[in-house]
Amino acid sequence: MRTVLAVDRQARSMTFAGDVPEGWVAQLMRGNFDRLAAGAADAARQARSGLGACRDGDGLAVLVSCIGRRLLMDQRIMDEVEAAGLELGSKIPRVGFYSYGEILLHGAAGVCQLHNQTMTVTAITEAA
């Protein structure tokens, strides 16, 4: 997925974040605020479930959200932070920052690729 950074109507061109090789086709989509917040909540839920019995212990959650989401959501960006926080619970403090896309293993392709417009949540805790 590539983010559209600019549209030049006179030149009939678009500038994307990331490479789009010549001859490739771009499929344009619209962001949905509620689904973006729900995705952040799902990421937090998955991170917390991975803690097992330690989920209420001393820990920390690191939230990394793509700057593209911030640009799209504007003031509603707090919706995704609050949604993630509700899933993590009040006992896990959170820290976060914006990134310019995330590079990680793509399950279907089996290789590392750029994932754009995502929020990742990493939960860390100490077991007894």
Which has more pLDDT, 95 or 69? 95
Residues 6+ apart with CB under 8 A from 115: 1, 101, 102, 103, 104, 106
pTM of the complete model beyond 0.75: no
Which has more pLDDT, 115 or 69? 69
pLDDT tens figures, 6-55: 889 999 988 877 777 888 887 777 778 898 899 999 999 999 888 877 76
pLDDT of residue 1: 55
pLDDT of residue 117: 79
Tell whether the model's pLDDT for residue 2 goes beyond 70.
Answer: no
Q: CA Rg, the chain, in Å?
A: 17
pLDDT tens figures, 76-113: 889 999 999 999 988 889 999 998 877 777 677 788 87
